[in-house]
């Protein structure tokens, strides 16, 4: 009888330990292929059994890695979401060649970067712990161009862009030159943008007009990098003419990083998470 009780105790301990391990957040290094290029990132899974929603993060400009968007990871994991961040092509452990986005190369570079994000989604949809019907893209800055294209390549649940331009690449570069690198205020640069006659390069509007899944766009009204006023106008025009599920939030007094002059960040992570939860 003592042996029987001891055996039951051991079995209970094994089951308890196994269950405890299942409930601990865990991470996996994931490799995936996009247009013949091998890319790599890290998948974080929450303390939850079964299939969970997935958020894939899309890069802004520059040589970005899987270390970006760290402020989102704990809140999303605690809310029961898996997250995936990968090294941009040509950066970190990802193959391929890094290419900066310019007006001249943007019609090919933006779709290539969008295919990377879509390829990550398409592979992770087959992961045993991922709910393939609830996969989302979140990204900042340059991701405002990339995410609408990626959404046309894959079936997504939601998309979120913050500080992402809805204007063409040429317009964004011109505005940034005026407001960020020049001697003009955001308001002056916005006014001068109306007379822009240069090369436009990639234009996201045709893809934004095809965003039939709910999308959230968050801006800071003191952004010196992208023309927020014009971006909002374009998003509202697409939403109103096509009855698209686009939600726009402009946060007063914050810049491209969604930070105020006194160095305080707006609670954009909380706002985005609350918006996502309304669609669960």
CB-based contact 214:245 (threshold 8 Å): yes
CB-based contact 171:230 (threshold 8 Å): yes
Q: What is the pLDDT of residue 273?
A: 96
Rounded Cα gap, residues 170 and 226, in angstroms: 11
Number of domains the chain is built from: 1
Q: What is the pLDDT of residue 45?
A: 97
Task: Taking each helix axis as running N to C, give the angle between helix 228-242 and helix 186-193, from 0 to 180 degrees, rounded to the nearest 10.
Answer: 50
Rounded Cα gap, residues 100 and 110, in angstroms: 10
CB-based contact 193:175 (threshold 8 Å): yes
Contacts for 155 with CB less than 8 Å, ≥ 6 apart:
none
- Domain encompassing residue 44: 2-277
Rounded Cα gap, residues 151 and 149, in angstroms: 5
When computed from its CA atoms, the radius of gyration of the chain, rounded to whole angstroms, is: 21
As a dihedral over the C-alpha atoms of residue 65, residue 69, residue 75, residue 80, rounded to 10 degrees, the angle is: -50
Q: What is the pLDDT of residue 154?
A: 87
Mark the ranges of the chain whose per-residue pLDDT is less than 50.
1-23
Rounded Cα gap, residues 143 and 100, in angstroms: 13
Rounded Cα gap, residues 123 and 127, in angstroms: 7
Q: What is the CATH number of the domain that holds 94?
A: 3.40.50.1820
101 by Cβ neighbours in 10 Å (0-12 / 13-18 / 19+) ranks as buried
Q: What is the pLDDT of residue 24?
A: 56
Neighbours of 226 (CB within 10 A): 24
CA contacts within 13 A on the Cβ side of 123 = 18
Phi, psi of 134 (to 5 degrees): -135, 65
Rounded Cα gap, residues 126 and 122, in angstroms: 7
């Amino acid at each position: 009888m003592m042996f029987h009780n001891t055996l039951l105790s051991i079995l209970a301990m094994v089951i308890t330990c196994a269950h405890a391990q299942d409930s601990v957040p865990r991470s996996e290094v994931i490799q995936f292929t996009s247009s013949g290029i091998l890319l790599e990132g890290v998948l974080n899974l929450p303390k939850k059994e079964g299939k969970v929603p997935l958020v894939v993060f899309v890069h802004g400009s520059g040589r970005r890695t899987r270390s970006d968007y760290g402020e989102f990871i704990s809140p999303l994991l605690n809310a029961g979401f898996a997250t995936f961040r990968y090294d941009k092509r040509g950066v970190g452990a990802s193959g391929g060649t890094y290419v900066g986005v310019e007006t001249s190369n943007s019609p090919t570079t933006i779709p290539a970067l969008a295919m990377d994000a879509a390829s990550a989604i398409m592979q992770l949809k087959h992961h045993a712990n991922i709910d393939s019907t609830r996969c989302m893209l979140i990204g900042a800055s340059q991701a405002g161009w990339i995410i609408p294209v990626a959404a046309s390549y894959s079936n997504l649940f939601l998309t979120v862009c913050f500080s992402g331009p809805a204007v063409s690449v040429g317009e964004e570069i011109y505005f940034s030159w005026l407001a960020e690198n020049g001697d003009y205020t955001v308001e002056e640069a916005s006014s001068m943008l109306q007379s822009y006659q240069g090369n436009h390069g990639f234009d996201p509007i045709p893809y934004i007009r095809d965003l039939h899944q709910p999308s959230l766009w968050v801006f800071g009204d003191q952004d010196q990098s992208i023309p927020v006023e014009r971006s909002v106008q374009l998003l509202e025009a697409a939403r109103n003419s096509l009855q698209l599920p686009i939600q726009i939030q402009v946060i007063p007094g914050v810049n491209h990083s969604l930070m105020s002059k006194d160095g305080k960040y707006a609670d954009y992570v909380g706002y985005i998470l609350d918006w996502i939860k309304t669609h669960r």
